[in-house]
Amino acid sequence: MSKEIVFISGASRGIGTSIAESFASHGHTVIGTSRSNFTFESNNENLIPLALDISDRDSIRECVTFLKENDLSPTVLVNNAGITSDQLFLRMKDEEWDNVIATNLTGTFNLTKALIKNMIKNRHGRIINISSVSGLMGNPGQVNYSSAKAGLSGFTKSLAKEVGSRGITVNSVAPGFIDTDMTAYLDDDARDKLIKDIPLNRLGSVKDISDLVLFLASQEASYITGQTISVDGGLFMY
């Protein structure tokens, strides 16, 4: 795999950090972002932390200026940033819907639109959207989150058809329940019950996701596009 410039939103923890460190360990230059200032725990010099609010188009314009000034035009984009604001539908506040859609779906639109132009110009690029099993099978209390993640599937397919002739692939990865701080709230009983519904009888690891993302960005995956690939231990089969 040739050395790429990789841009990863939501890279300050969990899956995003694992993806960033995986690319960096293979010698790629990685710009990882979070809404607030942060630093990577790893001392890998290939990792560049950057504050960015993907729901704020002014923030994205400033980011693009920074990238141009430092000759860091991304050839790989991983749209990982996302938030949850869980609530039963009848109790869901307008802002709980608006904020989740603005970050998880519109944020992906904002960032992709800003960074895809150089990929089109150079006729080379990889766009990988991090979705969720919730977007495929639904989840009570997550109408907002599931809707946003389901929207990523349509976004992925449509964009893949538009830019495939330009040497750009667009795919989506749909993690199931991954062992991160987002599942740390589960007590032992809830965790055991959840695992019983997973054919592989375990939660996923962040490496399960980062390994697939690394593959999708590689030349070996150059004939894969428009796909949503579940990494959920068999929780949802379709």
Which carries the bigger pLDDT value, residue 183 or residue 137? 137
Q: Per-domain residue ranges for the chain? A: 5-231
What pLDDT digit, counting tens, does each position of 16-59 carry? 999 999 999 999 999 999 999 999 999 999 999 999 999 999 99
Average pLDDT rounded to a whole number, residues 122-141: 96
CATH code of domain 5-231: 3.40.50.720
For residue 201, give the 3-state DSSP assignment.
Answer: coil
> What pLDDT digit, counting tens, does each position of 188-233 carry?
888 888 899 999 999 999 999 999 999 999 999 999 999 999 999 9
pLDDT band at 182; cut points 50, 70, 90: low
Contact 53, 111 (CB under 8 A): no
Q: Is 145 a catalytic residue?
A: yes
Please give the average per-residue pLDDT across 129-134, as a whole number.
97
Residue 176 has pLDDT above 90, yes or no: yes
For residue 65, count CB atoms less than 10 angstroms from its CB and return exposed for 0-12, middle for 13-18, buried for 19 or more.
exposed
Q: Which residue did the predictor score with more confidence, 238 or 71?
A: 71
238: pLDDT confidence band, cut at 50, 70 and 90? confident
* % of the chain at pLDDT higher than 70: 99
208 C-beta neighbours (distance < 10 Å), count: 20
pLDDT band at 185 (very low <50, low <70, confident <90, very high): confident
SS (H, E, C) 1-36: CCCCEEEECCCCCHHHHHHHHHHHHCCCEEEEEECC
pTM over 0.85: yes
pLDDT range class, residue 1, cuts 50, 70, 90: low
Give pLDDT tens digits for 54-95.
999 999 999 999 999 999 999 999 999 999 999 999 999 999
**Backbone angles phi and psi of 208, in degrees to 5:** -60, -35
In this prediction, residue 186 has a pLDDT band, given cuts at 50, 70 and 90, of confident
For residue 113, give both structure tokens: 């639109």
